[in-house]
Structure 1
Amino acid sequence: MSDSQPDLVERQRDQYRQDLDNLRNQLSVLSQQIKQKQQDLIEAEARIINLRQSYDYAKKELDITEPLANEGVVPKIELLKLQRQLNDTRRELTSTELKIPVLKSAVREAMLSRINAAQKFRTEQQDKLNQAQDKLSSLTESAVGLEDKVNRTVVVSPVTGTVKTLYVNTVGGVIQPGMNIIEIVPTEDTLLVEAQIAPQDIAFLRPDLPAIVKFSAYDFTRYGGLEGTLEHISADTTQDEEGNSFYLVRVRTKETTLGHDQNLPIIPGMTASVDIITGKRTVLDYLLKPILSAQSNALRE
């Protein structure tokens, strides 16, 4: 999809440039029409001025010639010519005056067409922009959903190591919650120990609490345990084959071997117990706890 994005953007730019060129050509034609109609209006107004002058001259000439024609000084034919000329001038003047409102209206319509063309272009481009933004928003939401779907299909090991056992290798297979997928032998300089915590003991646990890991293969009183830190607490309980519920926690140790001098190895698969330190109390606190509990219960009763 990323490879096709530059081509898509370039096509959109080409389309916009083509639309813009069409608008410029249309506006140019409309501008020429406006100039032509304005010129027609100017010529018509100038023609009216000339016709009015011609009419006035013809009227004066007729007024002078008519008495002379009646007296026989001027032939009657000259009088008729002047009358016909005056009538033609009046008719042309009237016709030209009637054209003025039409020409003015044509100029206004041409100017309005030019404005409408520009407004139509802006509206169409805004609609295209809105459609593109809606499509982009929809694609962005789809991409987020697809990315989340892809992320949830990718299983990441909590440790770096070598694959020992692959429990699931079916393409398209469905993995149930809590199901083992793969067994990895860690190659890091620390160990990641997985432990099961009863629901009644989970309340006071939180990440970064100190812990002691004791391995059943080595005597704790002699070799001690490995210091570690609580790193992960599962979000919900898991049930074993017997239906017992428990939380899965992971403790990362600071060392990979036991004993200060003997460097006793820790082999994957060894069973261990984990003591997570949630707080410290004095010996007196332990001695007084039964008494204080009994006193509290007695006061409530």
Structure 2
Amino acid sequence: MAVLKSYRFGVATFLFFLVTVIWSFIGTLDYVTVTQGVVTPSNKIKKIQHLEGGIIRSILVSEGQRVEEGTPLIELEATKSEAELNELETRLTALQIDLIRLEAEQKADKQMDAGEGKEVGRRRLVFPEKIRDQYPSKVEKAVSLFHIRNTALKNRILAQKNVVQQKKQDMEEIKQRIIKNKKYSKILEEKIKISEVLLKDDLSNRLEHLIYLEQKIGVEGKVNEDYWSLAKSKTVISEAELRIKTLKDAHREIAATEYSEKSNAYEELRFRKSRLLDNRSRTMIRSPVGGRVKYLYYTTVGGVVSPGAVVVEIVPRAGQLMIEGRLPVNEKAYVEVGQSVKVRLTAPGPAGFGQLDGRLDYISADSISDQNGLTYFLTRITVDGDSVSYNGKSYQLGAGESVECRILTGQRRIIDYFIEPFWKGANEALRER
């Protein structure tokens, strides 16, 4: 019985050593380099500034508070009053009404009709429905002014057209008179010829013959006067038609000049309104990203924010977390970019939570010395995820937390630990130094 127990013990011992040897050849241990690091977001801290500055009306967040994109942070007093905005709106509307009227005036002479009335003017002036509803009196005044100026132009043009018409009638009368006098002149010529024959035969006296000659000269004089009157009438008609064109051109030019001036004024006021609205919209400072409020530069209601000053710092939540670590100088030879990293918390509370996987993305080209004289290489490690969990509880990492980073630099078989002393001893044997 004792022999059997001894045999079993020997077999068990042999199997144990056999498994141990196999495990030492198969099993591996990790080479790690341990560094201390600080959690930072991959998106850098956002420093929020305000362009114009102003007086703080209210502070809506506190340091450490989580915020979403668009969350109000600080409200400033409006530097421009609502009354000024309303005044600009009224002036812009008045200018817009004038621009519509002046544009219609520039086109009015092309379709002008002396018989048009105020209703025609109203139909030509097309105003937006919003303006008609909110400013009916201004619209009515614009229509009335359009009608008055249009009517004045029509009356001046009508007066010149009447001159043209009258002169054309005079020209017809002159032409008829010329025809009549020319016929009468021919009759007188015949009478003179007959009188000359009779005078030779002493059948007529010279006085009667002179009367015929006098009448012919008088008729020819009237014909010449009528030709001169005809030319004068043509000149008057040309001048009247030129005045009509000048009146239309002057009316259009005045409207165009006034349109240009009011258009420039309209653009200037529109720009001022845009700046005023933009300024009013920026009185509320909002967070550009989701994250946590790191630091408030102004904490006093009623305080003055300088133009362009940084107001709030936000630590973004979006993007992967990044660990900035300090690699000891003597470990630099074992570490290279791309190696795997295990990250765990070092704080007493959440230290029992799990660990996160990461990757070494950056090693500084040169060593850095801090204020205490410690020299190190700066490393950056990208972490997969932003929270760790343990027993159903989850803890989200935040910027500024300290972590421990274990950089996997290689692996080694267990048997190598047993063989290395013998190899080392063999290599160093039979040497004096």
Return the match for 2:183 from 37, 53, 63.
53
Q: Distance in 1 between matches of 2:303 and 2:260?
A: 42
TM-score (norm 1): 0.53
Return the match for 1:9 from 84, 96, 114.
96
Give the aligned partner of residue 254 of structure 2.
124
Q: CA deviation at 1:38?
A: 2.5
Return the match for 2:299 from 167, 171, 174.
167
Return the match for 1:156 from 286, 292, 313.
286
Could you say what the CA RMSD is over the residues aligned between the two structures, in angstroms?
A: 5.2
Structure 1 23/282 Cα, relative in aligned 2: closer, same or farther at 3 Å? farther
Return the structure number with greater strand share: 2
Q: Which amino acid aligns with 1:218?
A: G
Structure 1 87/178 Cα, relative in aligned 2: closer, same or farther at 3 Å? closer
Q: Distance in 1 between matches of 2:96 and 2:393?
A: 67
Which structure exhibits the higher relative contact order, with contacts defined as CA atoms closer than 8 Å and separated by 6 or more residues? 2
Structure 1 263/11 Cα, relative in aligned 2: closer, same or farther at 3 Å? same
Q: CA deviation at 1:110?
A: 2.0
Superposition map of 1:13-162 within 5 A:
13-14=100-101, 16-17=104-105, 18=146, 19-65=149-195, 68=198, 78-79=208-209, 81-157=211-287
Q: Which amino acid aligns with 1:169?
A: V
Q: CA deviation at 1:139?
A: 4.0
Q: Which amino acid aligns with 1:10?
A: I
Structure 1 168/87 Cα, relative in aligned 2: closer, same or farther at 3 Å? same
More displaced stretch, 254-263 vs 25-34: 254-263
Q: Which ranges of 4 or more aligned residues in structure 1 deviate by more than 6 Å?
A: 69-72, 195-198, 212-215, 254-258, 263-266
**Does the Cα contact within 8 Å between 1:191 and 1:255 map onto a contact in 2?**
no
Return the match for 2:310 from 178, 182, 198.
178
**Does the Cα contact within 8 Å between 1:167 and 1:180 map onto a contact in 2?**
no
**Does the Cα contact within 8 Å between 1:213 and 1:272 map onto a contact in 2?**
no
Q: Distance in 2 between matches of 1:43 and 1:197?
A: 110
Structure 1 151/110 Cα, relative in aligned 2: closer, same or farther at 3 Å? same
Q: Distance in 2 between matches of 1:224 and 1:160?
A: 23
Unaligned runs of 5+ in 2: 1-87, 106-145, 326-342, 357-384, 411-433
Q: Which amino acid aligns with 2:401?
A: A
SS of the aligned residue for 1:155 comes to strand
Q: CA deviation at 1:107?
A: 2.0
Q: Distance in 2 between matches of 1:128 and 1:99?
A: 43
**Count of residues in correspondence between the two structures:** 234
Question: 1:121-153 deviations in whole A, cap 9, x for unaligned?
Answer: 333333344334434444454445445544554
Residue identity over aligned pairs, in percent, reads 13
| Structure label with greater radius of gyration | 2
Structure 1 79/180 Cα, relative in aligned 2: closer, same or farther at 3 Å? same
Structure 1 218/148 Cα, relative in aligned 2: closer, same or farther at 3 Å? farther
**Does the Cα contact within 8 Å between 1:44 and 1:100 map onto a contact in 2?**
yes
